[in-house]
Amino acid sequence: MSRRLLTCGEHAVLVEVDGLEEVLALDDAVRAAVTGEDAAFADVVDVVPAARTLLVVVHEGADVLPVRKALSALPADRPTSADALRRGVPHVVEIPVHYDGPDLDEVSELTALAPHEVVAAHTQTPWRVAFAGFAPGFAYLAGGDSRLRVPRRSEPRTTVPAGSVGLAGEFSAVYPRASPGGWQLLGHTDATLWDVERQPPALLQPGSVVRFVDVGNNADTDTAHR
Amino acid sequence: MSICELGLEVLATGPLALIQDLGRPGLASMGVGRSGAADRGSFRLGARLLGQSYDAAAVEVTLGGLAVRACGDVLLALTGAPAPATVNGTEVAHAASFLMRHGQTLRLAIPQAGLRTYLSVRGGVDVPAVLGSRATDVLSGLGPAPLKVGDVLPVGAPPRTFPNVELAPVRSMTAGPIVIRALLGPRADWLADPHLLAATPWTVSSRSDRVGIRLEGRALRRPEARLGQELPSEGVVRGSIQVPAGGEPVLFLADHPVTGGYPVVAVVRDADVDLAAQAVPGQALRIDLSFS
């Protein structure tokens, strides 16, 4: 397993690893070191996992060198079953989806699956929240059916409506609010992904398991929500 | 005694006036960026001039134009871009504390240099906090709405600490060329010639905001091996200089996204991000690059 430490300004280190599983293992290890009061990690203020990298940020004015040194040596084994037990049973979230997205046909072409097979693939394999990013409450879901890997749209949309359910690369996601975006849209949900009045505000927490449920294209249920 | 709650009534906003503090650090795992004052040094100076902690929120005024009337007597300070300021027509000093009496009006003109002026008030702007901060994040929409005419900004209770300085010496801001220092990396290998980032004279684009400053100049090129490649999105920090496929850099400010999909080739030093946050559209900018 390789781990590359890249300089990222005065107060951060970007750690590049081989893949998502390595990122999540290192993320677990760094968070354990931060909460376990490991002195080298005392100044860490933010840890940002992504598809191939983990960004570790220290407080303004703090020295990043101790963290950098500690990161090169920190053991980050894949989570053991004992760790999984300690963290308890994952939180399972069901998300009802109307599979009426504008890119369903394109995804069908790209994957050589019929539209109903795309829906079946998206709903039958559970997804797991790998990390958040892009926008508040935007969770990157990994571990789904590998036949659903599709590239982003070549031209991003200027507005993707809130609740849109999409695919990009190895990930699926739900847009918490309207924003520009380049994901392939399969459908939409009426679930509220982000609400600052709620504790916690994000419906999908790192580690949560997500099951998408096909609730049909019924326009009546749609209009009832508008 | 005044007849109203302690506060500031907004009579004019200028192009953009936002409530800011030092933001929401530590929430990146929810997809929430830090946000907060774009020029943190100037924001902090305002708090020190009023003898209060950095938790107290202030108003970040872009290109002047703000006018506020006092409800009750308030102690104020202006820092950042030195916008000419008057209280009921009488000039008030920059980077100094001053008292504004009940019913008096503060007006800010357009600063001759710099972009963002901070109006700090003793007691802080006391609107409800969202996720621990009163900062407005223009990217995510978190925090209070931009100020509108007719808003009354509540002012909090004064702290138990007292100001011990009335006037602070500050480096004067320039409308001329500025130089900002940056460290190369993490993705400098996505540039055909990293030296060109430093050698190119850049101009601050008018398409700049609190998310980032777009730099116009001769587009930077990727090495042959990287053409057509895509970098998976990764975490970015304030001060990151990101180079999209088009080759014109974007320097991320306070409201930058938590992750970005284009390579970050260098990161500006913290103190110099403040300097960059004061650059106005059309201003010349050079990057002093450390290769260590």
Rounded to a whole number of angstroms, the distance between the first and last alpha carbons of chain A is: 50
Asked if B259 lies within 8 A of A134 by C-beta distance, the reply is: yes
Which chain A residue's Cα is nearest to B41? A60
* Number of neighbours of residue B77 by Cβ within 10 angstroms: 27
CA distance, residue B50 to nearest chain A CA (Å): 23
Report d(CA A185, CA A164) in Å as an integer. Answer: 6
pLDDT at A85: 45
**Per-residue pLDDT reduced to its tens digit, A30-66:** 989 999 888 999 999 999 999 999 999 999 889 999 9
In percent, the amount of chain A with pLDDT more than 90 equals: 67
ipTM for this model = 0.94
- Put simply, whether A42 touches B (Cβ < 8 Å) is no
Considering only the beta carbons, identify the residue of B258, B267, B270 that sits closest to A8.
B267
Asked if B269 lies within 8 A of A9 by C-beta distance, the reply is: yes
- Put simply, whether A43 touches B (Cβ < 8 Å) is no
Residues 6+ apart with CB under 8 A from A218: A98
Q: How confident is the model at residue A89 (pLDDT cuts 50, 70, 90)?
A: low
CA distance, residue B233 to nearest chain A CA (Å): 7
- Mean pLDDT to the nearest integer, A179-196: 93
Asked if B29 lies within 8 A of A54 by C-beta distance, the reply is: no
Which residues in A lie closer than 8 A to residue B269 (C-beta atoms)? 9-10
pLDDT at B20: 98
**Per-residue pLDDT reduced to its tens digit, B118-154:** 999 999 999 999 999 999 999 999 999 999 999 999 9
Element counts in chain A: helices (H) and strands (E): 6, 13
> What single DSSP character describes residue A40?
G
In percent, the amount of chain A with pLDDT more than 70 equals: 90
* Number of neighbours of residue B45 by Cβ within 10 angstroms: 20
pLDDT of residue B242 exceeding 50, the answer is: yes
Q: Which amino acid appears at position B124 of this protein?
A: G
Report d(CA B107, CA A182) in Å as an integer. Answer: 44
Angle among Cα A59, A60, A65 to the nearest 5 degrees reads 70
CB–CB of A96/A189 below 8 Å? Answer: yes
Report d(CA B242, CA B248) in Å as an integer. Answer: 9
pLDDT of residue B3 exceeding 80, the answer is: no
In percent, the amount of chain B with pLDDT more than 90 equals: 88
B164 burial level (CB within 10 Å; 0-12, 13-18, 19+): exposed
- Mean pLDDT to the nearest integer, A71-82: 71
> What single DSSP character describes residue B28?
G
- Mean pLDDT to the nearest integer, B185-192: 96
- Which two structure tokens, joined as six digits, stand for A13? 């280190």
Q: How confident is the model at residue A78 (pLDDT cuts 50, 70, 90)?
A: low
The residue of A18, A22, A28, A55 whose CB has the most chain B CBs within 10 angstroms, and thus the best one to mutate to test that interface, is A55
- Mean pLDDT to the nearest integer, A117-133: 94
pLDDT at A222: 44
Quick one: CA dihedral A185, A187, A189, A190, positive or negative?
positive
Considering only the beta carbons, identify the residue of B139, B142, B187 that sits closest to A196.
B142
Considering only the beta carbons, identify the residue of A12, A51, A55 that sits closest to B232.
A51
Residues 6+ apart with CB under 8 A from A86: none
Q: How confident is the model at residue A225 (pLDDT cuts 50, 70, 90)?
A: very low
**Per-residue pLDDT reduced to its tens digit, B12-69:** 999 999 999 999 999 988 899 999 999 999 999 999 999 999 999 999 999 999 999 9
Considering only the beta carbons, identify the residue of A14, A46, A177 that sits closest to B25.
A46
pLDDT of residue B75 exceeding 90, the answer is: yes
pLDDT at A179: 86
Report d(CA B232, CA B237) in Å as an integer. Answer: 16
pLDDT at B113: 97
Asked if B31 lies within 8 A of A12 by C-beta distance, the reply is: no
pTM, full prediction: 0.91
The β-bridge relationship of strands A209-214 and A92-97 is parallel
Q: Which amino acid appears at position B253 of this protein?
A: L
Q: What are phi and psi of B77, to 5 degrees?
A: -150, 145
Instruction: Tell me which H or E stretch contains A25.
Output: helix A20-35
Edge-to-edge, what's the strand order for the sheet holding A184-188?
A92-97, A209-214, A127-132, A139-142, A171-174, A164-168, A184-188
